[in-house]
Amino acid sequence: MRSRHLYFNGVDGETGRYLFPPTTPRQLAALAQSEAADHGEVAKLERWLEQVGSRRLLWQPHHPWELAEAGWGILFAADDPTMPAVREALGELLAHRCAQAARVNDRHYQEFAGERGYRRGESKHEFLARHGAVHGAEGLERMPHYLLIVGDPESIPFRFQSDLDVQYAVGRICFDTPAEYAAYARTVVAAETSPPLRRRRAVLFAPLHPGDAATGLSAGDLAAPLAARLTRHRPAWEVATAFGPQATKARLVALLGGEEEAALVFTAGHGVGYPSGHPLQRGRQGALLCQDFPRPGRGNGRVPPEHCFAADDVSSAARLHGLVTFHFACYSAGAPALGDFPHAAGGPLPRVAPRAFLSQLAQRLVGHPRGGALAVIGHAEKAWQVAIGWPGAGRSMPAFVEAFDRLLAGRPVGYAMATFGERYAELSADFAAELELVRAGAPLDEQTLSRLWTGRNDYRNYLVIGDPAVRLAIEARPEEAMTFGLSGGEVVH
């Protein structure tokens, strides 16, 4: 019988205990009820979902994987003093994207900087309204569908990125030096113009720790079914697994820059976290815990470097060019300053870090000087198991299935992750409706309310680090069909 507790995938790097203890629906429902609903935001999401369902989004491109039709833009903070140097460093990528997106309509390529850039404190709706990006036929000429945010999450918040990602395909890059931006620009352009094509090989990596319910779910209910489905439905791909005892750090070193080549690497397991301001937090938050660490959650003490994969494990000789990685793990994309989950109903949001930041592992993978990964998909908070096993939830696991279908069919990363934005919007609207019923006196369904709340937060926090228009660096095969998994949809030839 499945436990009634809900689990995070995350381990405290200082103590070895869980970052957030297994929690009952009753405890989570109490936290959810203390949240103040944003009725305006919910109404906008509901209206957008209705338009999606009735196909009345006139601004939506018919072929959203084609930049000439969908458009591409780059977005800086309005007050970013580094913008001129960073833009110059990204010049090769900008020229490349301009040639693609503006081929038919020059307004399908846009740059948002200076007065046109993101203003501190601006909501998604305020930003879009300022640029006249309304739901109409002219929408794509005002706001391209693919948007690359440049800057740290203090200047342009994670929340702005995830809200924008509901309607658009959004990614982010943030590096410490112009040289790293230039390296990423070279990586993308080279992968798309003179690619050293990678094998059609996907590897799924999932530790399975004895007595650990969290990795039992992430390995058994997510990674294993995904691998089985890909094996059945993607005969042109080699699908390899590294589960349980095979999911060692040595294997992950080989996969992420070592001798074991793949086009796509997916990991599912614990991310490592540290208390706010801890001296190791900036460098190791979001490191990937491997099978080597014994019995996570039991308080076995500090997680040693040899038991997890962090930024400093990516060698200077790593071979990453053309790779895309996807990490189901806490903080694998970054960490906000304040978390989503208060420790007590009505209490303040917990301090996660002194300042919001991107994962150094993600930055190292995409910014590698020898040619980095094209994109890293990860999580910018604690990752819940709600997205895996949710009795009666309908669309949950299919979000992962559809994302993988699109990635392996050679579609852009941002297009693949649209399923997560849609799921976030659905859960936001459903949670708000359920909360209103409870506050109006309806009986409290603890299971439903807790899962809607945690699920909404969970899907919101999946982010793309990298240009959302990149694709797996594999040889195109037009004859290969793309089928959208378990939730139905179109077939593209």
Domains, the chain, ranges and CATH? 8-492 (3.40.50.1460)
Asked whether the predicted pLDDT for residue 2 surpasses 60, the reply is no
pLDDT tens per residue across span 57-77: 444 566 788 898 999 999 999
Question: Which has the higher per-residue pLDDT, 221 or 343?
Answer: 221
Closest CA to 414 of 470, 477, 359: 470
Average pLDDT for 400-419: 93
What is the predicted pLDDT for the residue at 396? 52
Within 8 A by CB and 6+ apart from 301, the residues are 15, 16
What is the predicted pLDDT for the residue at 284? 96
Question: Which has the higher per-residue pLDDT, 375 or 65?
Answer: 375
Confidence label for 219 from pLDDT (cuts 50, 70 and 90): very high
Confidence label for 487 from pLDDT (cuts 50, 70 and 90): very low
What is the predicted pLDDT for the residue at 404? 94
Question: Which has the higher per-residue pLDDT, 464 or 396?
Answer: 464
Q: How many CB atoms lie within 10 A of CB 299?
A: 11
Question: Which has the higher per-residue pLDDT, 51 or 301?
Answer: 301
CB distance 115 to 39 below 8 Å: no
Question: Which has the higher per-residue pLDDT, 372 or 387?
Answer: 372
Q: Which residue matches tokens 């930049």?
A: 67
Cα–Cα distance between 488 and 430 in angstroms, integer? 21
Distances (CA, A) of 86 to 76, 90, 366: 10, 6, 16
Closest CA to 156 of 417, 419, 349, 358: 358
pLDDT tens per residue across span 438-465: 888 888 888 788 778 878 888 888 999 9
Helices (H) and strands (E) in the chain, counts: 18, 19
Question: Which has the higher per-residue pLDDT, 298 or 134?
Answer: 298
Lowest mean pLDDT among 4-8, 179-183, 435-439, 455-459: 4-8
Average pLDDT for 101-130: 93
Q: Which residue matches tokens 């852009």?
A: 412
